[in-house]
Amino acid sequence: MEFVSPDPDAQVRAANVRATLDAFQLRPSLGRNLIDRHKLGLDDLRPENFIPVQRWLDALKEIQEEIGSNLLHRVGIAILENIELPPVFNNLEAVLGAFDDIYYANHRGNVGHYYSTRRPDGVWEVRCETPYPRHFEHGLVVGISRKFAGKRLYHVDYIEAPPGGDLTCTMLLRPA
């Protein structure tokens, strides 16, 4: 499922795609060329627009193949650095508790799911069953832990799932 949308008509909020450009801070022309190659024109990337998910997934796949997974991780973090959420989502528990709902507020169509649960030991478990790349998802969760944890620090344990299934990875957020 990684890099392939289960719904060919699914769309993603353009503001999320803009974060891809933000991740190319040192080489912005490289980011713009990538966006252009995948028909994700700057005019289409206005925050209120939605664009086809598969085009973005194709761009993310090219990033992984040509530049590496570290940049995908940075793109995931960049999305959370720039996200604007309603005031009710002002802490880690609120964001992780509604992670799948927030995901679908930024997507249209069938794009998989995020399953977040808080275990009795206080550890948050996030199961990623989306078409997004694993390292990108890891960046999202790290970004959430940085932006919404308040004064408390969290360590994010990354557990990769076997290739080919719906589950791409699981992350455990442990209080540091």
Q: How many domains does the chain have?
A: 1
**Tokens for 45?**
């990337």
Q: Which amino acid is at 82?
A: N
Evaluate if residue 125 carries a pLDDT over 80.
Answer: yes
Instruction: List the CATH number of the domain containing 2.
Output: 3.90.1520.10
Q: Assign 153 to helix, strand or coil.
A: coil
131, 5 contact by CB (below 8 A): yes
- The pLDDT of 56-85, averaged and rounded, is 87
Sheet holding 50-52, edge to edge: 50-52, 11-13, 107-108
Q: Assign 71 to helix, strand or coil.
A: helix
96, 116 contact by CB (below 8 A): yes
Q: pLDDT tens across 9-49, in order? A: 999 988 888 777 776 665 667 777 877 888 877 677 787 89
Domain limits at 71?
1-176
Q: pLDDT tens across 73-95, in order? A: 988 888 887 777 888 999 999 99
Mean pLDDT, the chain, rounded, equals 89
Q: Which residue, 98, 81, 102, is CA-closest to 147?
A: 81
Q: Which residue, 106, 89, 79, 84, is CA-closest to 150?
A: 89
